[in-house]
Structure 1
Amino acid sequence: MTTDLGFDCSCCGRRHDELPLAYGAPAPAHWHDGLAGQPGFVLGEEQCVLDGEHFFVRGLLVLPMPDGEDFEWGVWVSLSKDSFTRVTELWDDPARVDEPPYFGWLSTELPGYEPTTLNLKTNLHSQPVGVRPLVELEPTGHPLAVEQRTGIDRARVQEIAELLLHPGR
């Protein structure tokens, strides 16, 4: 178990008191503030609809760490209209945990990954009511998919933290 959760930043030289283990995107990559309030465009805390034709659900992409903790990305997944309708129908139903996973496309561009994380194939696994669905990536050679399968170490988590703390460095 790690007792010192802080880190010395290689960008600014300062000591940061903690190493964040979770980040989240407030909206799918295709959303922008100019869409707010337009007919057919809705951005909620957990769901999003673009032009009444593109449907998104917020999920959690978990990367295991060697010390037993998890690093988490809050991401958006695009679903078909039928899948989105089903997710919405079961949103408050405890039986939703018995649903098979829904196929979708990752709709969040995560920093620090090449090539882009947009449009990676996913399976969205329903969780108990009140818990965000888990996002499982297709097991490809993409660096994010590899980290989900094999884990992410503290040095990589620090690299991500530095990238997000100091964008454009």
Structure 2
Amino acid sequence: MLWSVSSDFGFLCSCCGEEHDGLPFGYGVLAPAYWNDDLEGGRGNSLDGERCVIGEERFFLRARLILPVVDSENDFEWAVWISLSQSNFTHATQLWTSPERVHEPPYFGWLSTELPTYEPTTLNLKTLMHSQPVGVRPTVELEPTDHPLAVEQRSGITLARVQAIAEQLQHPRR
């Protein structure tokens, strides 16, 4: 289930022909792609707003994948989940409330969110997760490949692309 963050920009939707208030400049999901409701309450499973553990074997942190918008002062953000090794997860969570965390080198991880609008899948793209100041969610840097999401992160997107994402998510094809 996706949630969105809107800006003040309204837009005329090319799918339904209606004027929509607020062009969303970000979307996110509540859990990694590998989480399902049957895991809740199970031994070794936990999910909160920023961390997820599955079976005491898989470890995830929430992060921000930022796409620059070349014709706007706003950036577009996907709130994503990154799979980390147990040692990196433990280290990152130990430093979660420490101002020193900004001095940490990036953590290698795997993108664990399947983002709509992208083909091929975004699952398991290689990432580097960069710690931010306390109170700010980490950021994600994708491996510089030819995957469309990695290209968009490097090159940026336009307001027209932001609108196309909004239209596709508000009016999914069945």
* TM-score of the aligned structures, taking structure 1 as reference length: 0.95
Structure 2 segments unaligned to the other structure (5+ residues):
1-7
Q: In 2, Cα distance between the equivalents of 1:130 and 1:6?
A: 30
Q: In 1, Cα distance between the equivalents of 2:26 and 2:86?
A: 29
Q: Deviations over 1:27-57 (max 9, x none)?
A: 0001111111111110110000001000000
Instruction: Indicate yes or no: 2:85 matched with 1:48.
Output: no
Q: In 2, Cα distance between the equivalents of 1:68 and 1:103?
A: 29
RMSD: 1.0
Residue 7 of structure 1 deviates from its aligned partner by 1.0
Q: In 2, Cα distance between the equivalents of 1:57 and 1:167?
A: 28
Moved over 6 A (4+): none
Instruction: Indicate yes or no: 2:79 matched with 1:74.
Output: yes
Instruction: Indicate yes or no: 2:144 matched with 1:139.
Output: yes
The alignment partner of 2:122 has SS state of coil
- Alignment partner, residue 6 of structure 1: 10
Matched to 1:20, the amino acid is P
Instruction: Indicate yes or no: 2:114 matched with 1:102.
Output: no
Total equivalences in the alignment: 166
- Alignment partner, residue 171 of structure 2: 166
The alignment partner of 2:56 has SS state of coil
Identity, % of aligned positions? 66
Structure 1 segments unaligned to the other structure (5+ residues):
none
Deviates more, 1:144-153 or 1:61-70: 61-70
Deviates more, 1:59-68 or 1:94-103: 59-68
Matched to 1:54, the amino acid is R
Deviates more, 1:69-78 or 1:5-14: 5-14
Instruction: Indicate yes or no: 2:37 matched with 1:33.
Output: yes
- Alignment partner, residue 64 of structure 2: 60
Q: In 2, Cα distance between the equivalents of 1:68 and 1:150?
A: 15
